[in-house]
Amino acid sequence: MESPENDSQTAQQIILRWDSTDTQLPMIFQGDRQEIDRYLQAVDQIQSSIQSTTLSDDDGVDSQSTKVNNAIQIAMARLEDEFRNILITNSTPIDTESLTESTSSAHLTPRTSTDNDEYSTRGEDDVVLQRDPSSSLLERIGSSTKFVNCRSMNSIREQDLIPPESISDLRCIAQRMITAGYFRECVQVYGSVRKSVVDGSFKKLGVEKLSIGDIQRLEWEALNAKIVRWIRAAKVCIRVLFASEKRLCKQIFEDLGTAADDACFMETVKGPAIQLFNFAEAISISRRSPEKLFKILDLHDSLLDLLPDIDDVFDSKAAESISIQVTEILSRLAEAARGMLSEFENAVLREPSKVPVPGGTIHPLTRYVMNYISLISDYKQTLGELIVSKPATASRNPGDSSSPDIDFTDHEEQSPLALHLIWIISILHFNLEGKSKHYKDNSLAHLFIMNNVHYIVQKIKGSQELREMIGDNYLRILTRIFRQAATNHQRATWIGVLHCLRDQGLHSTGSFSSGVSKSALRERFKSFNAIFDEVHRTQSLWLIPDEQLREELRISILEKLIPAYRSFLGRFRNHIESGRHPENYIKFSVEYLETAVLDLFEGYAVNQHSRRRSQ
């Protein structure tokens, strides 16, 4: 049986034979298994010798200690190279294509505008990973490389990044380096190699290295697209990439002391994690503008959904700063969303355009605002949690005419978010009333209000969620407003027309039957013809885009006009036809008037002579 001294000398010889300064030597762990085991046993023998060496006056012991220490340094240099080589050999970035495909197939409920010509921000790129494991996901990932295996831990999906036999070798090396006091060197080698793999996966996922300043200088259109890509990438980074890196660290370093697994994990992913979350942080502190609200909410929802997984992946003391950063980002995104809603309210109130829309049709502001509100209702769960206070309307001074006067005591049972929607509609109506004053024709001004408020009502009725939030009480108020505008339009237009069909002023003194003034009657018919011609010519160019509303208004006009004209014509027709050139005065038949009214509000000119003449 060999003595311990001989064992140590044999171990030193094995270690010196594999001195890493000899660049011609192959890698031990790429060779024969017996040689690997022999080398590891030699390292263990040297470490044992170091522990058993004691102070002695014997110069031979000091000499032996020096040799052992030199041997352990040579061994650690060799193991460091072997450790690095095994890691590099297994440094394939994750299969991001199959992962992003699986996330793209797991959509949230779509949040889209109800009008395809209006404001819309959410699309097919907004996706989440489903919390339940998917067989198709397992199949796709399982076929990507020979090592890959994916298991589910709640919403986290971990991949085996390195084959088991290589993990065993890495753990053997790490254990000996840490025991020998080479913990820092082991961590640095591991972190530098694995971080380059993570960087490669980031590149494949489209996660760019941009500073906060770079992100804030991007145009919104470019930034909008990057947010969509970031949301998709963040899900893969947290639930697959970082989670898998953490698992690998545990497989190699767990229970090796000094929290080696946590240290190696943070050495690997801290930089990439900061890079990933700096994007969201830059968005959270960027300039607030209403068009960003829905992407901000998408970002908020995505991070909130990921938060349990982030806390799970970054659960160590060393990783605490990452979880804190994400929590702070969420808080700033929430505050940004509240600020953007307030900015939107102010923008609607102050929207300055003064050029009347042709024909009194629906104003672009009305379409924009109502589709924006429809999207708000789609995000009601998130915004309902973020919006906790009523609209700031109390600051209005008595007699201030720069904003609408609204009393929310009638809506006390509604949520703060619902009150904000009611407030937005109120200030939209207030702005529209101001814009209506730029029409020179009062009748057209009333038609404009009717069209726009009717559009508001229809948008509310067309969305169950929006209708529930607004409430039937306020919906009835809006319905009264557009119906009153329709009544005001008819009065402004047709009172003058119907005034021509009254009896007053047509009779001279004497008996009723023989006292009709033919000259006054002729003037009355001429006035009626001229006024109706003008109304027909003008209001045919006006537009009521809603077909049902257009028909209802025409029917209402006919119900007043036709009986009055038929009665007037029946009483006085003979007086005109008994004179000369009756066709100059009785120009319209009842049937023509009925047809002519159907020309109104189509938005284009009609031929006034094609159907004219009385019969």
Q: Could you give the CA distance from residue 13 to residue 6 in angstroms, rounded to a whole number? A: 11
C-alpha distance from residue 536 to each of 290, 531, 605 (Å): 42, 9, 9
| DSSP of 153-171 | ETTEEEE--S-HHHHHHHH
What rounded mean pLDDT belongs to the chain? 84
CB atoms within 10 A of CB 52: 10
Exposed, middle or buried by CB within 10 Å (0-12, 13-18, 19+), for 246?
A: buried
Q: Could you give the CA distance from residue 278 to residue 285 in angstroms, rounded to a whole number? A: 11
Q: Could you give the CA distance from residue 296 to residue 523 in angstroms, rounded to a whole number? A: 67
- For residue 427, the model assigns a pLDDT of 95
- The residue-averaged pLDDT of 458-487 equals 95
Exposed, middle or buried by CB within 10 Å (0-12, 13-18, 19+), for 600?
A: buried
Q: What are 82's two structure tokens? A: 């072997």
C-alpha distance from residue 614 to each of 10, 24, 609 (Å): 127, 113, 12
Q: Is the pLDDT at 435 greater than 60, yes or no?
A: yes
- The residue-averaged pLDDT of 538-549 equals 96
- For residue 9, the model assigns a pLDDT of 82
Closest-CA residue to 294 (of 113, 105, 455): 113
Q: Could you give the CA distance from residue 463 to residue 523 in angstroms, rounded to a whole number? A: 53
- For residue 142, the model assigns a pLDDT of 32
Give 77's contacts (C-beta < 8 A, 6+ positions apart): 20, 21
pTM higher than 0.75, yes or no? yes
Helix %, strand %, coil % for the chain, to 5?
65, 5, 30
Q: Is the pLDDT at 125 greater than 50, yes or no?
A: no
Q: Is the pLDDT at 3 greater than 80, yes or no?
A: no
- For residue 7, the model assigns a pLDDT of 72
| DSSP of 501-560 | T--TT-B-SS-TTT-B-HHHHHHHHHHHHHHHHHHHHHHTTSB---HHHHHHHHHHHHHH
Backbone angles phi, psi at 153, to 5 degrees: -130, 90
Q: Is the dihedral of CA 236, 241, 244, 246 positive or negative?
A: negative
Q: Could you give the CA distance from residue 265 to residue 269 in angstroms, rounded to a whole number? A: 6
Backbone angles phi, psi at 501, to 5 degrees: -100, 15
Are the CB atoms for 299 and 231 separated by under 8 Å? Answer: yes
- The residue-averaged pLDDT of 152-174 equals 85
- Count of helix runs (H) and strand runs (E) in the chain: 22, 2
Q: Is the pLDDT at 130 greater than 50, yes or no?
A: no
- What would the pLDDT profile of 50-83 be if each residue is shown by its tens digit? 766 644 445 555 666 787 888 889 899 999 999 9
Closest-CA residue to 506 (of 592, 571, 562): 571
Q: Could you give the CA distance from residue 275 to residue 258 in angstroms, rounded to a whole number? A: 27
- What would the pLDDT profile of 404-422 be if each residue is shown by its tens digit? 877 777 777 889 999 999 9
Are the CB atoms for 448 and 440 separated by under 8 Å? Answer: no
Are the CB atoms for 507 and 515 separated by under 8 Å? Answer: yes
